[in-house]
Structure formats: C-alpha cells, structure tokens
A and B are shown apart, each in its own frame.
Chain A
Amino acid sequence: MLLYSILFPIFALLAILWFVYRYLKEKQSLGTVILWTVLWLFVILFSIFPKFSERFASLFGITRGLDFIIIVVFVVLFYIVFRLFNKIDILNEQINKIVKEVALNNEIALDDEEDE
C-alpha cells in the first residue's frame, strides 16, 4: 500500500468530522456539509482504490484516472470561486445599504462636534 492511500483517507476523515462538528455547532448549513462529505468520500475511494478513478474517467470519455481527478478538482474550484464572488458581491451590497442608512439617519450638526 502506498503512503498516499493511507494519508489521504485519514485527512479526508478528519475533514468530514470537522464539517459535521461545524454543522452540529450550527456554523455550517446541511447542504454544504453534504457537498463536502461527498467530495471527501470520493477522495477516500480514489485513494484506497485508484482503479475506481479510471472507471469514472471512462464514463466521461477520459482515458487516465488522474486526468479525471484533476478535471474534477478544477471544476469544483471554479465553482467555489464563482460562489465566493457572488457571496462577496451580495455582502458588499448589504454593507453599502447599512452604511448609507446609518449616514442618512445621522446628519452631522455643529453641536455634534461640541458634544465630543
């Protein structure tokens, strides 16, 4: 057995436990936990049974299992970056709204300076 087929599953199991722990502490949504658990389970599967990746690869017309894994990783990373961009955009919009609202409700008068 190769080193990676021992290390990767251990790391993946720890990651799954971490996500479950965060879900139980209500810091992570169920959807996110399921998504990441499925991904980490695939890491375990491909680490212990590398031949599996070739079967998956052939399903998509890709010859090498490693190529398939790299392509999947790229797709997942792009999706995460896209989601993060969207989230940041929404957060920015919400911050702008709050900052504007606070400013509009607090016109600065000369008395404000004297009070300080």
Chain B
Amino acid sequence: MSVEISNEDKRATYVVLPAYNEATRIQPVIEEIAQKGYNMVIVNDGSSDNTLEVIMESKKKYPNNIHIFSLMINRGVGVATQTGFDAVFRFNPKYVVSMDSDGQHSADDLDNVIEPLVSGKAQAVIGVRPLKDMPFSRRFANSVMNILTRIFYRVDVSDSQTGFRAITVDALKKIEINARGYLISSEFIREVNDNNIPFAEVPIKTIYTPETQAKGTNVKEAIKILIQMIKHQF
C-alpha cells in the first residue's frame, strides 16, 4: 500500500546516496528519485570507475535536485554516509533518508518510509527487507547480525543490516555515527535506541541481482562487524 506525500514534504526530504563503483547501476536510481520530486546528496566514495561522470550526467538533467560530494579515496559506506549526513544540514531539510545506490532498493518505497516521519508516528524509520527474498548466505549473515545487534547494542529489530533508513533532521542532530563500513547499519539503530528516538519499521522491496549480491553484509562482512562491535564495547 502506497501513501501520498505532499510535494512540500518531498522537497524537504534529502536522500543520501553513498556510491562506490556504481557507474552501471546508479543512473536509474538517481533519476527515479528525482522524478518523484525528492532531493539528493550523492557521495562518490572514491570510485575507480566513472561513477562521478555518470552522476554528473544526471545532475545536468535535474540540477536542482542533486548535490554531489566526492571523497578523493575510497573510505567505505560508513564514511560516505557520514559525509552525506554532514552535508545535508546545509540544505535545511526536514527529513533525511539514506538508501543504497546499486538499485537494490526501490524509489517507490520512499513515500512509505517517509510517511511515519511526516505523520509524526516516528522520528526514525528502518526499511525492513523480506527475509524470504534474500539469498541463503545473506539471510544467514543477516540473522546472525540481528542476534549480535541484540546482544551488543540491546536493540531488537527485524533487519539490523538494512541500508534503507530515514530520520527527521532533529533526530539526526542527536545521533553520532562513527562507523566506517557496514557497521553503520547497526550503529544507526543503536544510536536511535540510545537517544530514545521513537522509531518504526516499514517493509520494503529488495531487488537482488548478481551485482547487488556481491555487495552488502555477507559472512566476511559479518565477521568484520562483529570485531568492530566488540571493540566498541571498550
């Protein structure tokens, strides 16, 4: 079920898109978001392909909706998202969303994810991916990460590793993200919980292709996140 978000609220929403080597996938994502009337802060994470040129092409089509920042070297999805979150404040948004730029998430879900913020039901939202759609290795890693997030961060969520999240700008000011890599997903949830920010879960669609499966939280990433979680305890 899709909800209607006013144009005013859409204009007050900024979507942060961290992008690393997404030249072949990012353009439809950007343009779909722009067509829906949302603004974007795109952070090129030191891509070695022509991601930046592709983003510039889209900016020519939607110059007012797109703001581009570029990290000179690859620092990971966490740092790219942090950069986007820092940059977004200069545009005075009301709502901030971050989603993957590889086409894994659907721009059609933006309205649903924003809705609890607009209606005041929540100040932070995580988009929950259906477990049944996930490949086995991803589903296994995700289940383990959910348990670890519960143990180390004392938060019980259905999808701790989702990259689709939304937050009001006031709530964003309260949280502090330091994660460099994929730990950002769990850290976002921990910060929301620790700061008593009311949050909601919204089901989202996930589009898995061989390319999108190559990224994200697999077993190797899960081990790295576990090490960082243990480190964060000290």
Chain A positions within 8 Å of B, measured between CB atoms, are 92, 95-96, 99-100, 102-104, 106-108, 110, 113
Contact B72 A102 (CB under 8 A): yes
Q: State the B residues within 8 Å of A (CB).
A: 43, 46, 52, 56, 59-60, 63, 67-73, 75, 79, 82-83, 86-87, 180
Extra pairs beyond A95-B75, A100-B86, A107-B67 (13, CB < 8 Å)? A92-B180, A96-B79, A99-B71, A99-B72, A99-B73, A103-B69, A103-B72, A103-B87, A104-B69, A104-B87, A108-B56, A108-B70, A113-B56
Interface majority SS on A: helix, strand, loop or mixed? Answer: helix
B69, A106: Cβ atoms under 8 Å? yes
List, in ascending order, chain A residues with CB within 8 A of B180's CB.
Answer: 92, 96
Chain A residues, Cβ within 8 Å of B69: 103-104, 106-108
The 6 residue pairs across chains A and B that have the minimum distance between CB atoms: A108-B68, A103-B69, A100-B83, A99-B71, A96-B79, A103-B71
A82 to B101, CA, bound (A): 36
Give chain A residues whose Cβ lies under 8 Å from the Cβ of B60.
Answer: 110
CB B226 to nearest CB in A, in angstroms, measures 16
Cα of A6 to Cα of B79 in the assembled complex, Å: 53
> 23 pairs across A/B with beta carbons < 8 Å?
A96-B79, A96-B180, A99-B46, A100-B71, A100-B82, A100-B83, A100-B86, A102-B72, A103-B69, A103-B70, A103-B72, A103-B87, A104-B87, A106-B70, A107-B68, A107-B69, A107-B87, A108-B56, A108-B69, A110-B56, A110-B59, A110-B60, A110-B63
